[in-house]
């Protein structure tokens, strides 16, 4: 399966490296300095737990030509860049399958208006990370250093029906050592993930991306929990009754004091330092977009979100 990774950010580079290391036919699209770093083998991948450093050897291109043909394009860019990516992809008719992996609150319409339905599917990466300096990026793909198995990527079709291409893509990743979970309701999963991650991201911004300070702030931890519940109520009232991932249900079942301890444990972890704080520092513009999209869902549902709104005001650079 000839594969192109569209987006030379931390996760695009990481997954492209894993596929290349497993002997797959993989190319990454990068521009400017990143393209030069990849071509000159000056880019470093650092394991956030072991500190092991790898210099990936990847085939890179700096543009997508009209007659380029790929069996799979994996798009890993911030949500606020999606429209320009769709325009670029639509100009190349010989792209067979396009897997968009990333945050998505608003659903599928933007993608469907620019690309044929039969080409599109959606997912979410399991790893997280960010740029440590201009030439090196740090990645975590497990929840803790004790766990050896990578966190899975999630993949699903818009209609929820597992197809031959879904299983083929699953096999591509799994044969490269990347576990895959196929989902029947990828739209619901992505929305509930956003309902969880947006309040967490906003709480991180409230403390200037200082996770240590956040872990000690009981008020903000509890505010984030209430914001998650409000966001979940919005989705429930819109008909998304299956809360996913399963851990999202814990916010409804457990006392707030217990959940606050769980949140504190998350923010004190090395995983959060790399996967959450580093991403938040670099992706404030994406979070602003996600907050706006979730507020639109709340307006559609007619649900008030005072805690969510108060916390999400921390995202704007003007506040």
Fold of the domain spanning 188-312: 1.10.1040
Per-residue pLDDT of the chain (319 residues; tens, 9 = 90+): 999 999 999 999 999 999 999 999 999 999 999 999 999 999 999 999 999 999 999 999 999 999 999 999 999 999 989 999 999 999 999 999 999 999 999 999 999 999 999 999 999 999 999 999 999 999 999 988 888 889 999 999 999 999 999 999 999 999 999 999 999 999 999 999 999 999 999 999 999 999 999 999 999 999 999 999 999 999 999 999 888 777 777 777 889 999 999 889 989 999 999 999 998 888 899 999 999 999 999 999 999 999 999 999 988 754 3
The span from the CA of 279 to the CA of 77, in Å, is 12
How distant, in Å, are the alpha carbons of 6, 15, 51, 54 from that of 46? Answer: 21, 13, 6, 6
**In this structure, what are the phi and psi dihedrals at residue 246, rounded to the nearest 5 degrees?**
-55, -35
The span from the CA of 109 to the CA of 217, in Å, is 39
| DSSP-derived pairing of the beta strands 53-54 and 44-47 | antiparallel
Q: pLDDT value at position 318? A: 46
**Residues 264, 308, 315: CA angle, nearest 5 degrees:** 80
pTM over 0.75: yes
* CATH 3.40.50.720 segments of the chain: 3-184
- Helix locations, the chain, DSSP H: 10-21, 32-39, 82-90, 109-112, 164-174, 186-206, 211-215, 218-237, 250-253, 256-267, 270-271, 278-282, 284-301, 306-312
Residue with tokens 């956003």: 194
The span from the CA of 289 to the CA of 104, in Å, is 10
Residues forming beta bridges with residue 26, ordered by sequence position: 3
* CATH 1.10.1040 segments of the chain: 188-312
Residue 307 contacts residue 234 (beta carbons within 8 Å)? no
Longest dimension (CA), the chain: 57
> How long, in residues, is the chain?
319
Residue 93 contacts residue 116 (beta carbons within 8 Å)? no
Q: pLDDT value at position 232? A: 92
Interval 200-237: pLDDT, tens: 999 999 999 999 999 999 999 999 999 999 999 999 99
Sign for the pseudo-dihedral over CA of 175, 177, 178, 180: positive
Q: Which residues are within 8 A (CB) of 186 and not within 5 positions of it... i.e. 6 or more apart?
A: 121, 122, 123, 154, 155, 156, 157, 158, 160
Query: Structure tokens of 215?
Result: 């872990």
Residue 217 contacts residue 188 (beta carbons within 8 Å)? no
Residue 189 contacts residue 156 (beta carbons within 8 Å)? yes
CATH (residue range 3-184): 3.40.50.720
| DSSP-derived pairing of the beta strands 59-61 and 26-29 | parallel
Smallest CA-to-CA distance from 84 within 197, 6, 193, 188 is with 6
């Amino acid at each position: 399966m000839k594969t192109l990774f569209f987006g030379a950010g931390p996760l695009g580079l990481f997954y492209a490296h894993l596929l290349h290391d497993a002997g797959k036919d993989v190319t990454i699209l990068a521009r400017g300095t990143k393209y030069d770093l990849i071509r000159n083998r000056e880019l470093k991948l650092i394991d956030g737990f072991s500190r092991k450093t790898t210099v990936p050897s990847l085939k890179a291109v700096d543009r997508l030509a009209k007659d380029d043909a790929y069996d799979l394009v994996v798009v890993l860019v911030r949500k606020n860049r999606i429209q320009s990516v769709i325009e670029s992809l639509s100009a190349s008719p010989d792209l067979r399958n396009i897997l968009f992996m990333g945050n998505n609150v608003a659903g599928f319409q933007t993608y469907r208006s620019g690309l044929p339905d039969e080409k599109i599917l959606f997912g979410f990466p399991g790893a997280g990370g960010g740029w440590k300096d201009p030439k090196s990026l740090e990645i975590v793909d497990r929840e803790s250093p004790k766990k050896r198995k990578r966190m899975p990527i999630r993949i699903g079709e818009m209609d929820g029906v597992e197809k031959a291409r879904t299983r083929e893509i699953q096999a591509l990743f799994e044969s490269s050592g990347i576990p895959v979970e196929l989902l029947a309701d990828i739209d619901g999963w992505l929305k509930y993930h956003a309902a969880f991650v947006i309040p967490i991201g906003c709480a991180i911004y409230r403390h200037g991306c200082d996770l240590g300070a956040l872990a000690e702030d009981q008020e903000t931890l509890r505010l984030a929990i209430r914001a998650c519940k409000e966001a979940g109520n919005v989705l429930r009232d819109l008909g998304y009754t299956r809360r996913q991932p399963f851990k999202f249900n814990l916010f409804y079942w457990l006392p707030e004091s217990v959940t606050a301890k769980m949140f504190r444990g998350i923010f004190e972890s090395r995983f959060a330092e790399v996967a959450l704080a580093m991403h938040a520092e670099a992706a404030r513009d994406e979070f602003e977009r996600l907050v706006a999209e979730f507020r639109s869902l709340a307006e559609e549902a007619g649900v008030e979100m005072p805690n969510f709104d108060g916390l999400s005001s921390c995202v704007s650079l003007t506040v």
